[in-house]
């Protein structure tokens, strides 16, 4: 069964020139003006802001049109940043049984035992109960500040 598509008009941040992208119909149906969309660009992947979703494809020229293929959920990004600001985030720590291995990369039993022992040791270093650490007579010790990874943000795109 062929993939049905339409097109969208969108522009890159800092560039007012509109570009036309092919867009699968199921993605186009959820897009509105000003949405941010992932696209396949000439030099890799990119993001654009939607100017218009075409009812019928406007990709009629002799160009090598690229695809707009996924709406970016910026609402979820806002939720993540709010949780981070409220310090309601914590790193995921897996158990040794949670470690996924491909069949070809499966460690020998001695390697697996070493990994399990290291994971158990790391788990043993954590406080036994978080409630005890929060008790007034036992304040939470200050954690050393870790260098955060660089923040990735979508540049501001002026509203039209």
Separation CA 12–CA 24 (nearest Å)? 20
The model carries a pTM of 0.55
Same domain assignment for residues 69 and 11: yes
26-77 pLDDT, tens digit per residue, is 999 999 999 999 999 888 999 999 999 999 999 988 999 999 999 999 888 8
Q: How confident is the model at residue 80 (pLDDT cuts 50, 70, 90)?
A: very high
20: pLDDT strictly greater than 70? yes
Tokens representing 150? 């660089």
Domain count, the chain: 2
How many CB atoms within 10 Å of residue 118?
11
Tokens 């160009």 belong to 63
Same domain assignment for residues 67 and 114: no
In a domain, 37, yes or no: yes
Domain of residue 62, residue span: 5-81
In a domain, 130, yes or no: no
Separation CA 48–CA 8 (nearest Å)? 10
Same domain assignment for residues 28 and 95: no
In a domain, 150, yes or no: no
Element of type H or E holding 118: helix 109-125
């Amino acid at each position: 069964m062929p993939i049905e598509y339409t097109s969208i008009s969108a522009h890159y941040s800092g560039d007012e020139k509109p570009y036309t992208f092919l867009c699968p119909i199921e993605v186009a149906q959820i897009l509105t003006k000003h949405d941010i969309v992932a696209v396949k660009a000439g030099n890799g992947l990119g993001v654009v802001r939607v100017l218009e979703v075409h009812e019928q494809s406007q990709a009629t020229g002799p160009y090598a049109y690229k695809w707009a293929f996924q709406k970016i959920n910026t609402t979820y990004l806002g939720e993540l940043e709010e949780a981070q600001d409220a310090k309601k985030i914590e790193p995921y720590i897996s158990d040794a049984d949670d470690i996924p291995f491909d069949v070809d990369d499966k460690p020998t039993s001695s390697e697996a035992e070493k990994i399990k022992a290291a994971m158990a040791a790391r788990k043993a270093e954590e406080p036994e109960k978080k409630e005890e650490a929060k008790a007034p007579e036992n304040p939470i010790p200050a954690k050393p500040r870790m260098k955060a990874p660089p923040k990735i943000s979508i540049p501001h795109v002026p509203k039209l």
